[in-house]
Chain A
Amino acid sequence: MTNTAAGPLPAENDLIDAARRGDRQAYGELVRRHCDGTINVVYRMCGDPDLAEEAAQEAFLRAWQSLGRYNPRFPFRNWVYRIAINAALDALRRQPQQVDLDDLPLHASNGEPEKVFEERERAEQVRKALRKLPAHTRAVLVLREYEDLSYKEIAAMLEIPIGTVMSRLNYARNQLRQSLAAYVEAR
C-alpha cells in the first residue's frame, strides 16, 4: 500500500492484502480503523482501562503475525475481536484485577458529587458483576451488548453453535439480573 496520502479511503481488502505482503503502513490504517472497537471489547472483558489498552496492543501484534491465517470470507473486525478476547483472557490470567475506582470512565464527571459517586459506584458494580461471569459467557455478552453483533456473527467468531450463543446469553443475563437486582429494579 503505497498511495494512501489523499483521495478516498482504501478498501479494507486492499489494506489487508498489502499488510499480508508486509506493508506496515497499510496495517497501521487497519489498526486505526479498528482500535476503538477492539479496546472497548477488551475493556468490557477485563474492566481495567490500562489493561484493556495493553491487551488491545497485544491483540494487534498477534493479528499481524497471524495475517497469513486470516480467512477473508469473514470480516476483519470480527477476526481481530476474537484475537482481542483471547488476549484479554491471557492478560487477566497474568494480572489479577486491581482497579482504582478513580480510573473508571464516567459520563457526568462535572456533575454533583453525589451523582458522580453514584455513577462510579454503579459502574463498579456492573464491572464486578461482569467479572463474575465465566469468561466465555462474558465474551458472548460483551459482543452482543457492547458491539451489537448478531448471534450468527458471534457464533462464527467464537466457533460455537447459535444455540450455545443463546444459552450463554440467557445465562449471563439471568446472572446479571440477580447480581444487579438493586439497580435493575430501582431504575
Chain B
Amino acid sequence: MSQHVTQWIQAYLDGELHGQRLREIEAHLRGCADCQQEAASLRELSVLLQSVPRPAPHAAPERFAAQIGLRLPRTPEQSAWQRTTRRAWQAAPVGIIATWAFLQAALFTVGLLQSLGLAQVLAAPGPGYSAWTGTSGALGMLGSSLWELIRQGAPWLELGEPLLGLLGLELGITLLAAIGLWAWLASWWTLRRRELQTIEHQVIAP
C-alpha cells in the first residue's frame, strides 16, 4: 500500500479496526514515516488530554446521591402506555358496574316485554306510543338479541321456564361483576400495601 492511510489512523489508535483493514494499516505504518508521525502526534494529543485531571468531587457519592434524593419528585414520570394502563385500571370498577347495570336493565326489559307480549309493545307508533315505549322497546330489542345469542351458546338455559333462565342469567352476570370487583379490590389492596412498604422503608433507611 503506497498511499497514506491518514483517514484510518484515528480509528486504528482507538482500537476500532479489525481483520483485513487492521492488517493493512499496521503494514502501512511499519513502512511509512509520515503516517508514523501522524500517529505519534495523535497519541501525544491523547496523552495531553488525559493529563488534565478529572475534578475531585465536592461531595462523596453517598452525599451526592443524598442531595439528589432530597430534590427528587415523589414518583418518576410514567410513559404514555403506563399512564393509559393506570387510568384504565382506575376506571375498571366504574366500567364493571356500568356494564352490569346495562345488562341487568336489558335483561329485565326483555323479561318484562316477554310477559307483556313483545310484538304488541313494539307495534308501529300509534296513539299509545310514547318515549317510554320507544326506549323500552329499543332496550328490549337489544336484550332480546343478547338473549338469543346466549341461548344459542348455552341451550341449557332453556331447560326450565324462559323467565327462570333469564333470572339465572341475571344472577350469573351479578356473580361475574362481583368477582370482577373483588379481584380489582384485591389488586388495589396489594399495590397499596407495596407502596406503603416502599415509603416506610425509605423513611427508615439511613
Could you tell me if B53 and A107 are in contact, using CB atoms closer than 8 angstroms?
A: yes
Shortest Cβ-Cβ A-B pairs, 4 listed: A68-B79, A67-B76, A49-B55, A31-B65
**CB <8 Å contact, B197 and A2:** yes
User: Of residues 86 to 119 in A, which have CB atoms within 8 Å of B's CB atoms?
Assistant: 105-107
- A65 touching B73, Cβ below 8 Å: yes
Taking a contact as CB atoms closer than 8 A, the residue among A21, A67, A105 that contacts B55 in the complex is A105
A127 at the interface (CB under 8 A from B): yes
Contact present for B77 and A65 (CB under 8 Å): yes
B161 CB–A CB distance under 8 Å: no
Taken residue by residue from 3 to 19, chain B's Cβ proximity to chain A (1 for < 8 Å, 0 otherwise) reads as 00001001100111000
Residues in chain B within 8 A of chain A (CB atoms): 7, 10-11, 14-16, 41-42, 44-59, 61-62, 64-69, 71-79, 82, 195, 197-198, 201-202, 205
Cβ-defined partner of A64 (8 Å) among B47, B72, B197: B72
Contacts A61-B68, A173-B42; A25 near B202 (Cβ below 8 A): yes
Jot down 7 A-B pairs with beta carbons below 8 A, ordered by A: A21-B198, A25-B205, A44-B54, A67-B76, A123-B52, A169-B14, A177-B42
Residue of A nearest to B38 (CB): A177
Which of under 10, 10 to 19, 20 to 34, or 35 or more describes the interface residues of A?
35 or more
- Is the CB–CB distance between A31 and B64 below 8 Å? yes
Given the interface pairs A57-B67, A68-B78, A177-B45, the reply to whether A27 lies near B72 with Cβ below 8 Å is: yes
Q: Determine if B16 and A68 form an interchain contact, defined as CB atoms under 8 angstroms apart.
A: no
CA distance A99 to B58 in the complex (A): 16
Chain B interface main SS type: helix
Is there an interface contact between B53 and A183, defined as CB atoms closer than 8 Å?
no
Contact indicator A151/B48 (Cβ below 8 Å): no
A52-84 at interface with B (beta carbon < 8 Å): 52-53, 56-57, 60-61, 64-69
A12 on the B face (CB < 8 A): no
The chain A residue with its CB closest to the CB of B198 is: A23
* Contact A184 to B41, CB < 8 A, known contacts A123-B52, A126-B49: yes
Other than the known A180-B45, A184-B41, what 18 A-B pairs have Cβ atoms closer than 8 Å?
Answer: A2-B197, A20-B76, A22-B76, A28-B69, A29-B65, A31-B64, A39-B64, A56-B64, A57-B67, A61-B71, A68-B76, A106-B53, A122-B48, A123-B52, A151-B11, A176-B45, A177-B42, A185-B44
